[in-house]
């Protein structure tokens, strides 16, 4: 089997001392133990959608939820082949600091990643389940447009993938 990249979803939480419940949640993505685009929020909805459908997904975004707010004009291009998920992402991902889109587009490089689909789904499912029981209606998620109801619906989307055997 061809070597694939290792995907990791990391949740950073702030816990309330009085009741032990999580009050703030943000997430990061590591690939091969290296944090990818740490200055941007990770949109969990887009990440989960990228497991279901090929195409361009705005997985990295601003804390407000709008990728354009931080100059992200192109999302992660996702394709599938058998049990592999392919990511194609521009580096840097944001046009910030460039004269215009064309200047950024011609000067940024394209990075390719390959993930084992089964392992990626299990990794995301496990990360979500680790913190799910300690969240409640007072938990604030990043990006700020993301709410508890959205977070709780993620598992049903992943479970659908698992039941269909990916």
> Tokens standing for 2?
């061809």
Q: How many CB atoms lie within 10 A of CB 66?
A: 13
* pLDDT value at residue 166: 52
Q: How far apart are CA 84 and CA 152, in angstroms?
A: 26
Tens-digit pLDDT string for the chain (166 aa): 568 999 999 999 989 888 888 889 999 999 999 999 999 999 999 999 999 999 999 999 988 888 888 888 899 999 999 899 999 999 888 888 777 888 888 888 999 999 999 999 999 999 998 888 888 888 888 888 788 888 888 878 888 887 776 5
Closest CA to 66 of 145, 148, 150, 164: 145
Spatial CA neighbour of 70 closest among 143, 7, 8: 143
pTM, to two decimals:
0.88
Count of C-beta atoms within a 10 Å radius of residue 70: 18
Tokens encoding 123? 């990794």
- For residue 24, CA distances in Å to 62, 80, 101, 111, 121 come to 16, 33, 34, 31, 24
Tokens matching residue 19:
């009741």
The DSSP bridge pattern shows strands 109-116 and 76-81 to be unpaired
């Amino acid at each position: 089997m061809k070597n694939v990249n290792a995907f990791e979803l990391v949740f950073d939480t702030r816990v309330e001392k009085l009741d032990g419940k999580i009050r703030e949640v943000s997430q990061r993505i590591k690939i091969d133990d290296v944090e990818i685009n740490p200055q941007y929020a990770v949109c969990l909805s887009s990440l989960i959608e990228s497991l279901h459908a090929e195409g361009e997904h705005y997985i990295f975004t601003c804390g407000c939820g709008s990728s354009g707010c931080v100059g992200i004009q192109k999302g992660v291009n996702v394709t599938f082949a058998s049990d592999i998920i392919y990511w194609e992402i521009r580096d840097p991902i944001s046009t910030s600091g460039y004269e215009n889109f064309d200047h950024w587009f011609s000067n940024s490089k394209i990075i390719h990643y390959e993930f084992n689909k089964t392992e990626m789904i299990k990794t995301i499912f496990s990360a979500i389940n680790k913190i799910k029981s300690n969240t409640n209606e007072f938990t604030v998620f990043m990006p700020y447009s993301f709410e508890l109801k959205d977070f709780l619906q993620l598992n049903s989307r992943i479970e659908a993938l698992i039941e269909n055997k990916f």
